[in-house]
Amino acid sequence: MNVEIVNVANRAAVIAVIANNKDKMKTAKYFSAIWCGPCKTFKPIIKELITEGHPIEIIDIDANENLARELNIRSVPTTVIFSDDVEVERFVGAKKKEFIELKLGE
């Protein structure tokens, strides 16, 4: 993937750059559950990334059992990263915001 380096002055500019490049970006599905302790810690980070324009879908495994089974989700939280609708990476557990940003930007 070609990456264009853009200098941005503020948060609004970052959100605009993300919005204008969504078709070139990786996407993610974040699997969690209401009863999951680590998910409660990690979910605010995911929501923050979403508000910044990152294409992340939050999926509750109890409400979406078929999708969780189809993607072989065995533990939560699990984040699956896609590029052109093909899984390119997954990780289990709560991670730092910077880690997620890095993985979505690679």
Q: Which residue numbers are catalytic?
A: 36, 39
Give Cα 95 to chain centroid, integer Å: 11
Spatial contact of 105 and 98, defined as CB atoms under 8 Å apart: no
| E-state strands within 1-106 | 27-32, 56-60, 78-83, 86-92
